[in-house]
Amino acid sequence: MNQSRKTFGVALAVVCFVLAVARHSSAQRNSDAAQFLAAHERELQQAIPVARKLSLLASLAPAALAAKDFAKASSYANELMALGQSQQNKPGFGPSIYGNSTHVGNIVLGQIAFVNGDVSSAKEHLLAAARISGSPTLSSFGPDMRLAKELIEKRERDAAVAYFDLCAKFWTNDRGKLQQWKDAVAKGSMPDFGANLGYIFDSWRFAH
């Protein structure tokens, strides 16, 4: 009996430690994201080149999401998509700018909808994020899969598979990953998304 109690006590201590680390990590992430926002939002109000503004918005939207400031995240995501759309036919920009802006913006908005319990809107944004012709980054490294994973966890498998199919039109260097993920979903298991799992949400960490 004493040994069982000791074992249970050790297990409970380990669980508490893991939860404490997770809470600290989450709090640190929120703090880091808030600091990023404070350091870069002022620049957005200045007269800066359009290319810089697009890059800045693409980082500020996910950073605001990480800071749990959903109002700012939504505002920046919508501004990013609008600016990308307005520049898609301008010299030096083109469809790839529209594609990247649309993908990032909709992924952020979809995540906000998901957090708020609006699964229907989350699915719409997920699919809208992939209705693009791509961009050099997306065609090489591929789309973000965090929202797709969360929807799969909610048993919204059809939406995830439809997303994979749309992504296949522009992700030409997927090395068979999309089909592997579709096969995994068809078997009722969770795909291993690897580096595609949420890279957009952490993009602000590498921005300058």
Domain total in the chain: 1
Which spans in 95-193 are helix H? 95-115, 119-130, 136-141, 146-153, 157-167, 177-186
pLDDT of residue 135: 86
pLDDT of residue 21: 34
In a domain, 6, yes or no: no
Q: Tell me, letter by letter, the H, E, C secondary structure of 11-74.
A: HHHHHHHHHHHHHHHHHHHHHHHHHHHHHHHHHHCCCCCHHHHHHHHHHHHHHHHHCCCHHHHH
In a domain, 132, yes or no: yes
pLDDT of residue 119: 97
Nearest to 99 by CA among 56, 138, 141, 125: 138
* pTM, rounded to two decimals: 0.84
In a domain, 140, yes or no: yes
Low-confidence ranges of the chain (pLDDT < 50): 1-24
79 alpha-carbon distance from chain centroid: 17
The token duo for 125 is 């944004």
The token duo for 40 is 């870069």
Q: Tell whether the torsion through CA atoms of 96, 191, 203 and 176 is positive or negative.
A: negative
Structural domain boundaries, residue 134? 34-206
In a domain, 15, yes or no: no
136-157 b/e (C-beta count within 10 Å ≥ 16 → b): eebbeebbbbbbbbbbbeeebb
| Distance (Å, whole) CA 93 – CA 136 | 12
In a domain, 22, yes or no: no
In a domain, 148, yes or no: yes
In a domain, 118, yes or no: yes
HSE value, Cβ hemisphere, 13 Å, CA-based, for 84: 26
In a domain, 137, yes or no: yes
